[in-house]
């Protein structure tokens, strides 16, 4: 019993020390965010910031949230398309304080001249480019901890991916910039996962009238690599 209490005390002390030394952070939010002009349509939103901001969206009703995908337009402007029935929850920059243990007042905050601004929004129609990968069969070896496939893209905008797993174990799917990662955990027995991916990009038309994608916009698969983790 004494040993258990001692272990608990050590764990509690370590946890408190970790919390005490965790880097504190500042946050700079956009103020006076404009209202969505027409919640039944897609809305083009441009956020101006001195660094890449985070833009959180909220669905009507306030119970669903998601992070927006941003396209860097240059000169500090970042574009996102807000779907119908969604709005801007907040747009912000954040960073670590320089003095985590003594952070407060002027010791913690962004540069004085930093401002995050959400520009006036416009309702738009959107264009879309979609491609599909070839049908792929990924062998899953039960002797390894995991298997992963990285799909490398050449894309002018953040891509969305929808995976069609036709047979076998389904992977988890994550996107990071111009890479899509498919991940399978270790399997109890040899298996094959058959799948193909629909990859798309979307951008705004000048108005609410339909339009075709500009010639400068594109998305393509430039590479695909499968790796296995260490043996079990």
- The predicted-structure confidence for 195-222, as pLDDT tens digits, reads as follows 999 999 999 999 999 999 999 999 999 9
Q: For 32-64, what is each residue's pLDDT tens digit? A: 999 999 999 999 999 999 999 999 999 999 999
CA distances from 63 to 38, 57, 69, 86, 223 (A): 20, 11, 20, 11, 38
Q: Which CATH number fits domain 127-228: 1.10.260, 2.60.120, 2.60.40, 3.90.930?
A: 2.60.40
Tell me if residue 11 falls in helix, strand or coil.
helix
DSSP sequence for 149-181? EEEEEEESS--EEEEEEEESPPPEEEEETTEEE
| Model pTM score | 0.79
For residue 109, pLDDT over 80 is answered with yes
Domain borders along the chain are: 23-124, 127-228
């Amino acid at each position: 019993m004494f040993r258990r209490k001692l272990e608990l005390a050590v764990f509690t002390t370590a946890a408190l020390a970790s919390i005490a030394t965790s880097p504190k952070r500042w946050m700079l939010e956009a103020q006076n965010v404009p209202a969505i002009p027409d919640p039944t349509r897609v809305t083009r939103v441009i956020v101006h910031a001195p660094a890449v901001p985070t833009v959180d969206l909220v669905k009507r009703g306030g119970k669903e949230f998601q992070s927006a995908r941003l396209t860097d337009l240059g000169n500090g402007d970042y574009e996102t398309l807000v779907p119908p029935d969604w709005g801007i929850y907040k747009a912000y920059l954040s960073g670590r304080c320089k003095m985590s243990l003594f952070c407060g007042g002027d010791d913690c905050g962004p540069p004085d001249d930093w401002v995050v601004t959400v520009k006036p929004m416009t309702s738009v129609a959107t264009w879309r480019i979609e491609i599909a990968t070839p049908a792929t069969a990924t062998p899953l070896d039960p002797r390894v901890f995991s298997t992963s496939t990285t799909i490398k893209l050449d894309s002018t905008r953040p891509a969305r991916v929808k995976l069609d797993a036709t047979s076998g174990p389904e992977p988890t799917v994550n996107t990071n910039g111009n890479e899509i990662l498919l991940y399978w955990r270790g399997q109890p027995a040899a298996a094959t996962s058959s799948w193909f991916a629909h990859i798309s990009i979307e951008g705004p038309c000048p108005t609410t009238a339909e339009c075709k994608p500009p010639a400068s916009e594109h998305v393509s698969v430039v590479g695909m690599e499968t790796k296995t983790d260490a043996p079990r």
